[in-house]
Chain A
Amino acid sequence: MSAEAHNEHAVDHHHDDHHHGDDHDHGSFKTYMIGFLLSVVLTAIPFWLVMTEALAPQTTGLIITAFAVAQIIVHMIFFLHMNHRSEGGWNMLALIFTIVVVVIAVAGSVWVMYHLNTNMMPVHDMQTMG
């Protein structure tokens, strides 16, 4: 092996498992249709539940949250073609990191501000809080 080949290998050695060229997962007609039909169902049921007021508001809230999470996962798999192998796992790692930050920021904000509201507001003009 020449020095040049060595050099290139030295610099490039952790790119060995990378996807070069055009071998990204594009899905197929079938996977797109499965994703689409699942999305339609997962969208229609929450709208139907809220519009008909078929269940108690708390129950409806829990169900539509679960459906939203399920639909986001469906979109990630069937439309965004996420899997643990894409880009050598870095896509999934970035996604997990983002989810952690999002959960901390959103849940933390809601938690802190809820306590701030309940502790700072004058008691006399408050309607009964659940």
Chain B
Amino acid sequence: MSHASSLNPDYVDEAGRPIYHPVEEPHHPEGHSTMLGFWMYLMSDCLIFAMLFAVYAVIGGNYAAGPSPKDLFDLPLVALNTSMLLLSSITYGFAMLAMVKNRTAQMQTWLAITGVFGLCFLGIELYEFAHMIHLGATPQRSGFLSAFFFLVGTHGLHVTFGCIWLVTLMVQVWRKGLIQANKRRLMCLSLFWHFLDVIWIGVFTFVYLFGMLR
């Protein structure tokens, strides 16, 4: 090739011919990009929640002569719920620390405690929803209640799937041990779980606390 000298040496073979495609599949270690990909998923999930927050900000004040946040919200209950989620975050952190040290039993215990806190959070949230619906504050009552149930319900649904995922991974670790693939999955769930706690900061501040200030 006459113009071979002008080509990037990385992209020519030993005879000086340009290489347009790899001769064999480049070797990537399994799962090397999983964490970045999962982070991208979380960012897109963040956009979903941003839209729900925007909807709540726009129509959260439309009570249609129905109940307002002050009539419905019970701040001590919300504080209890918030502490459940915060405690589950720190116990998941302890599970990750045990995982790094390959202490499987200790990690499983912390995961189980995390799951219990997650279920407590869901139980309190469902109790709150049931109480509101019992009072006639259903999602179809007003724009405020539609936006409230949609936003808080979507977060609750995420926590529900997080709990299912948590149990799945505990079974995986129990059956296969702390193999590299399971560690990677546990790290993804760690991001997911802490991310849900971040979203909850927005929920308790802008929905519950601001609701009481109106």
Contacts and interface: CB of A to CB of B under 8 A. Distances in A.
B26 A87 contact: no
A4 B11 CA distance: 11
A9 B110 CA distance: 43
B86 to A, nearest CB: 6
Contacts, number: 150
A61 B213 contact: yes
Interface string B148-164: 00000000000000000
Nearest to B92: A79
B14 A6 contact: yes
Contact of B47 (A60, A71, A76, A98): A98
Contacts of B100: 26
Contacts of B97: 26-29, 32
Secondary structure class of chain B's binding surface, majority of residues: helix
Interface in B137-190: 180, 183, 187
B120 interface: no
Range for the number of chain B residues in contact with chain A = 35 or more
Interface string A64-89: 11011001100110011000000100
Interface of B: 8-14, 19, 22-24, 26-29, 32, 35-36, 39-40, 43, 46-47, 50-51, 53-55, 57-58, 75-76, 78-79, 82-83, 86, 89-90, 93-94, 96-97, 99-100, 180, 183, 187, 191, 194-195, 197-198, 201-202, 204-206, 209-210, 212-213
